[in-house]
């Protein structure tokens, strides 16, 4: 039903969860390579609610939330990185190490990250290296208020 509701939009599903409650809450998180706004979320929400009502009947009780990932949410799909080239990222890798640096580019197999390291109380930017998507456990955009 969700995939049918996305027809005509260049969107992809980041997360889908349904709570186990008397009145279930359906939470859909969507994204696109260009980002998405409230209008797209509202249109998908209306389409999905219609399909749910058609399938389960209009008396079905549920709560539906269609949203985009917040700025503080980790990136979970390789397609999410493209529009964030030039931003600073904090990565946790599968081997337990952490890296912080600028996203220089995206490739089919991973990202090019110019890591920032401290060297004698100074910050130094290393040349960009390829970090495969399979090595990334968690990736977050570093929000700066400077």
pLDDT digit string (tens) for 33-90?
Answer: 888 889 999 999 999 999 999 998 888 899 999 999 888 889 999 999 998 999 999 9
What pLDDT shows up at residue 104?
96
The contacts of residue 37 (CB under 8 Å, 6+ apart) are: 68
- The C-alpha atoms of residue 24 and residue 144 are separated, in whole angstroms, by 36
Q: Give the DSSP letter of residue 75.
A: B
What pLDDT shows up at residue 77?
92
Do β-strands 110-119 and 122-125 pair in parallel, antiparallel, or remain unpaired?
antiparallel
- The C-alpha atoms of residue 105 and residue 68 are separated, in whole angstroms, by 23
- Residue 116 φ then ψ, to 5°: -105, 125
**pLDDT, tens digit, for every residue of 116-130?**
998 888 888 899 999
CB 111 within 8 A of CB 81: yes
- The C-alpha atoms of residue 80 and residue 35 are separated, in whole angstroms, by 8
């Amino acid at each position: 039903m969700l995939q049918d509701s996305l027809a005509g939009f260049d969107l992809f599903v980041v997360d889908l969860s349904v709570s186990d409650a008397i009145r279930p809450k359906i939470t859909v998180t969507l994204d696109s390579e260009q980002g998405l706004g409230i209008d797209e979320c509202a249109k998908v929400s209306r389409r999905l609610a219609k399909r749910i009502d058609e399938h389960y009947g209009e008396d079905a009780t549920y709560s539906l939330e269609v949203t985009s990932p917040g700025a503080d949410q980790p990136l979970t799909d390789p397609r999410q990185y493209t529009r964030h080239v030039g931003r600073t990222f904090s990565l946790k890798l599968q081997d337990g190490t952490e890296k912080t640096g600028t996203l220089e580019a995206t490739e089919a197999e991973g990202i090019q990250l110019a890591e920032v390291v401290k060297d004698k109380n100074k910050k130094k930017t290393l040349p960009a290296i390829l970090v495969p998507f399979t090595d990334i456990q968690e990736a977050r955009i570093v929000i700066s208020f400077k």
